Amino acid sequence: MSKSKMILRTKFIDRACHWTVVISFFLVALSGIALFFPTLQWLTETFGTPQMGRILHPFFGVLIFVVLMFMFVRFVHHNIP
């Protein structure tokens, strides 16, 4: 199919926001489960050390919040009558 016949379904910024939220959610989930259940401390090896997982957990949470608020502001005008 040629480029002239292709339809843009979603913009790049929408896809980037979506995947940022998805990846950040899984990183927060991994670090959060390891914080809540000490027996699963090995999950924080994703971040290097358990201390690094504990440090990065709130930063990923704030990143999710900021990106979701950006998406909300971006799409809210489609839902207001």
Q: Is 32 exposed, middle or buried (0-12, 13-18, 19+ CB in 10 A)?
A: middle
Structure confidence by residue, pLDDT tens digits, 46-74: 888 888 989 999 999 999 999 999 999 99
pTM: 0.80
Q: Which residue has the higher pLDDT, 7 or 18?
A: 18
Q: Which structure tokens are listed for 19? A: 């995947």
Under a CB-based contact definition with an 8 Å cutoff, are residues 71 and 22 in contact?
no
As a whole number, the mean pLDDT across the chain is: 90
